[in-house]
């Protein structure tokens, strides 16, 4: 299994006694690493290789944390896999130890770029996704069918959008929403909705009668956006609301049609930053794109590249057209 590129391994911490093989397809036995170490075994991509001899019973360290203990002596250059390790039992959730070691202060990376999108809150995503999240498990079936239709009918018309993700869960209906600890699942759902790949904008579909109302899941200010679809019309940018129990939704297919129609409306409105308040927020089919630095390669969607630790996106910025 010859390597197509020079041998590449990643040592996560200076104290680690293993490294991770990063070459596509792995590395063959007999491959010499930059350090002079010669592999005794073929090591698949993503697997560990022993950087030095590891004694029986000694901890195998990755991130300077034991991931297992050697069942037998492991020679330097060997493939370190689970059959050679005694894996410690997972800790119980109660009485987990707290980290007390201070994190090292790393210097900012310089000269490194990647293709991605700058969001309005300063976060950076690597994909341009439409996210549909829900306030209750009861709407999961409707959202699943709507997402399927969006993929088949809408996304082919907007190649700058990478996909649609339906975020489903088993919470929100007859729950004790004010009970101690109830804020944990609510906070979890909220934070998932803030994934940078969603551009700080997600569609929320509500049933209407659930305990977890949209205002609690995504309170004002969670996603700091304005609805400009009605700007200049005298409507004052009134926000749309979508609840599946509203009278306008008659039957299952009507609910699906309304979700797809709202996604289509935003997809066909380039240059706007739109949001549905209360029960529905929508991700517009546009995304801010900064000027590409010199040397940034052009892909099908002309994404921009930036330093992974840059403090601010390059300037000037412009809006990506929603339709190619």
Return the pLDDT at 4: 61
Report the sign of the C-alpha dihedral through residues 129, 200, 274, 141, in that order: positive
pTM of the model: 0.55
Three-state DSSP at 25 gives coil
Mean pLDDT by 10 residues, the chain (324 residues): 76 96 95 96 97 97 95 97 92 83 85 84 86 87 92 88 87 86 87 84 83 80 50 38 78 88 67 28 36 29 34 32 33
**Could you give the count of Cα atoms lying within 13 Å of 203 in the half-sphere of its Cβ?**
29
Return the pLDDT at 66: 93
Let me know: does 48 contact 79? Beta carbons within 8 Å.
Answer: yes
Residue with tokens 């600890």: 181
Return the pLDDT at 267: 60
CB contact set of 277 (below 8 Å; sequence gap of 6+): 227, 239, 240, 241
Give, as one character, the DSSP assignment of residue 48: E
Residue with tokens 């990063």: 22
| 307/309 Cα distance (integer angstroms) | 5
Tell me the CA distances in angstroms from 164 to 89, 177, 203, one per residue in order. 38, 29, 10
Measured CA angle at 253 (ends 247, 259), to 5 deg: 75
| 29/178 Cα distance (integer angstroms) | 59
Nearest alpha-carbon partner for 81 in 107, 119, 48, 105:
48
Neighbours of 61 (CB within 10 A): 18
Summarize pLDDT for 229-253 with one digit per residue, the tens: 444 444 333 333 477 888 888 888 8
Return the pLDDT at 313: 35
Let me know: does 109 contact 307? Beta carbons within 8 Å.
Answer: yes
Extract the tokens encoding 21: 């093989």
| 320/275 Cα distance (integer angstroms) | 18
């Amino acid at each position: 299994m010859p390597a197509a590129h020079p041998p590449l391994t990643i040592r996560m911490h200076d104290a680690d006694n293993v490294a991770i093989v990063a070459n596509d397809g792995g590395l063959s036995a007999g491959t010499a690493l930059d350090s002079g170490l010669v592999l005794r075994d073929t090591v698949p991509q993503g697997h560990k290789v022993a950087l030095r001899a590891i004694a029986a019973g000694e901890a195998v360290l990755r991130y300077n944390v034991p991931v297992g203990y050697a069942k037998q002596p492991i020679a330097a250059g060997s493939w370190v896999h689970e059959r050679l390790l005694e894996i410690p039992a997972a800790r119980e959730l109660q009485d987990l130890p707290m980290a007390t070691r201070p994190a090292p202060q790393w210097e900012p990376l310089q000269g490194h770029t990647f293709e991605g999108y700058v969001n309005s809150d300063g976060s950076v995503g690597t994909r341009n996704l439409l996210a549909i999240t829900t306030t209750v498990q009861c709407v999961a079936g409707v959202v699943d069918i709507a997402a399927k239709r969006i993929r088949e009918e809408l996304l082919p018309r907007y190649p700058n959008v990478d996909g649609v993700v339906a975020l489903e869960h088993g919470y929100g209906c007859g729950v004790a929403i004010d009970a101690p600890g109830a804020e944990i699942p609510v906070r979890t759902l909220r934070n998932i909705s803030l994934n940078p790949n969603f551009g700080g904008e997600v569609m929320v579909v509500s049933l209407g009668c659930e305990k977890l109302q949209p205002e609690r899941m995504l309170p004002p200010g969670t996603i700091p956006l304005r609805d400009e679809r009605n700007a200049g019309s005298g409507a004052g940018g009134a926000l749309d609301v979508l609840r599946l129990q509203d009278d306008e939704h008659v039957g299952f297919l009507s609910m699906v049609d309304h979700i797809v129609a709202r996604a289509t409306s935003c997809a066909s409105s380039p240059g706007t930053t739109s949001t549905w308040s209360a029960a529905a927020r929508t991700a517009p089919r546009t995304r801010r794109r900064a000027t590409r630095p010199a040397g940034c390669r052009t892909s099908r969607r002309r994404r921009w590249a930036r330093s992974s630790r840059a403090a601010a996106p390059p300037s000037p910025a412009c809006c990506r057209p929603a339709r190619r």
